[in-house]
Amino acid sequence: MAEVHLVLGGARSGKSRYAMGLAESSALPVTFIATARALDEEMAARIQRHRQERPAHWETVEAPVDLAGALDVISPGRFVIVDCLTLWLLNCMEMDRMDALRAFERALEAHAGPVALVSNEVGMGVVPADRLSRRFVDELGWLHQRLAVRADRVTLMVAGLPLEVKG
């Protein structure tokens, strides 16, 4: 069973940097599962920046929807970072692939290595005005709750500082 560390926080809170530090301190080979899609120039630039921040020897797997499939083929002797669940959920919603959530949760249960899951905590602000945004906030909140129950550790990042919530 995977050792799961859920890393939550707002935009630019240090989530990815923290997860990368966990991976580096593990002394294991690292697989980075990226979920972002470059749908515009700004997002392409963000993705490129993230790629440059990762060590070149880390394996990168692009999985905008099929996180279960990506996780299933990674050997248990590797540290896995999934970055990020927020964009992944958005991809699943846009492609009408909500079945991918349960598939990922099952794959996570079956995985045998350490996994750091990075996600934005978006439910701490005002309730969104439009229906689709409210659904996204709800779905992400429910996903976080299920993963937090399963996780060995949960860390909330605030201004670059880790606050241990569980573990």
Residue 116 in tokens: 């750091």
Residue 151: name the closest of 46, 1, 3, 38 by CA: 3
- Annotated catalytic residues are 50
Strand order in the sheet with 3-9: 59-62, 30-34, 79-83, 114-120, 3-9, 153-158, 161-166
* Chain centroid offset of residue 114 CA: 13
The alpha carbons of the chain give a radius of gyration, in whole angstroms, of 15
**Beta strand pairing call for 153-158 and 114-120:** unpaired
